[in-house]
Amino acid sequence: MSTSIPISNQRKIIHVDMDAFYASVEQLDHPEWKGKPLAVGGESDRGVVTAASYEARKYGVRSAMNSRRARELCPHLIFAKPRFDRYKEISKIIRSIFLQYTLLVEPLSLDEAYLDVSDYPSATIVAEEIREEIYKQTRLTASAGISINKFLAKILSDWNKPNGQKTLSPKQIIPFLESLDVKKIPGIGNKTKLKMYHLGIYTGKDLKGQSITFLTKNFGKAGKHYFNLVRGIQNSPVKPHRVAKSIGIERTFSSNLSSEFFLEEKLEELSENLEKRLKKNKVAGKTLTLKIKYSDFLLQTRSKTLKFYVSTKELILEEAKNLLYDKKLLNSVRLIGISLSNLNSKKSKQMAIKETTKTDQLTLPF
């Protein structure tokens, strides 16, 4: 049995991920915080950690954690308010470095992106040069993963963090995936992981041993996806212009709200801001989703697909209120959000991306 990916299926993809980006920027701009546990986010008991430095992570502090819990884990934790304008400023510098090497750059967020560098003899050397240039221009470190597709590159960028990189050549892919814990596979969250463990699927080898029929039966459409991934198969190209699947906005309240009347006021504010975001992106949506997080952190979503596209504050608010009153609240509310999906983004808005085929893929060494 072959233990490598066919040469005809090879591309050279790099996933670059900045190391604890927001927290590292704060430590860069505040030298007195360097080497100390730091969290970016709200300091109040109801605040949420947006990012944590590596020093804070040693205490168990993680992003999306309640600030009070973070402080319990690390009493001397430093809190810094988010400065997104500053993060965007540095992100532009990083992106300009990427574009010096290739125009095939797919940003995922301010601090990470995929790059297709198939035209270069060595993707490993390119990744090293990019990381060196990022540090030279920003004094911040980045990690990178290098392989034949986005899925593998993303796994690998986390392998030698911080300030490291890992390359997986075609011959190494199958053995690597077979030894991988399934929880390391992107897209397999805690719930799916536990289900796989219950079915006796702990490693990539275990997953690879299952038929596509078995996986589809137990995991639905995702079953085929897992079937391909564990064989190193993923043909999604690097897309320089990514079209958003949804646009939304949410707010966490300083104190819990227990009445729909008060939530209506918040929905009006959110609807106005969502309208601005839709106008900025020149899109409208058909499916409206209301997100409610209760005081006990139970999350509930309510959605409705309309017969027409909406983008104005008035229509968004009207449908959001309908969803709000559709069911009784289960508890007092700490967060509420609204989003629009099923957007009317046209393919003409996207940059034309040629799907890589077997005949035009390169076979140069990594």
The widest CA-to-CA distance across the chain, in whole angstroms, is 65
How, if at all, do strands 38-41 and 78-80 pair? parallel
Q: Which of 55, 112, 133, 275 is catalytic?
A: 112
Q: Quick one: DSSP state of residue 48?
A: B
**Burial group, residue 64, by CB count within 10 angstroms (0-12, 13-18, 19+):** exposed
To the query of whether residue 319 is one of the catalytic residues in this protein, the response is no
In angstroms, rounded to a whole number, what is the distance separating the alpha carbons of residues 133 and 104? 18
Q: How far apart are the first and last CA of the chain?
A: 23
Q: Which backbone phi and psi does 339 adopt, to 5 degrees?
A: -145, 155
- Helix residue spans in the chain (DSSP H): 21-29, 54-57, 67-73, 84-99, 123-138, 150-157, 170-179, 190-198, 204-208, 212-219, 222-229, 260-281, 313-324
Residues recorded for the chain: 366
In angstroms, rounded to a whole number, what is the distance separating the alpha carbons of residues 342 and 239? 20
In angstroms, rounded to a whole number, what is the distance separating the alpha carbons of residues 145 and 17? 9
In angstroms, rounded to a whole number, what is the distance separating the alpha carbons of residues 152 and 10? 12
Residues 151/186, Cβ–Cβ less than 8 Å: yes
How, if at all, do strands 246-257 and 333-343 pair? antiparallel
Q: How far is CA 195 from CA 1, 190, 203, 216, in A?
A: 29, 9, 13, 13
In angstroms, rounded to a whole number, what is the distance separating the alpha carbons of residues 27 and 19? 12
Residues 126/117, Cβ–Cβ less than 8 Å: yes
Active-site amino acid positions: 112
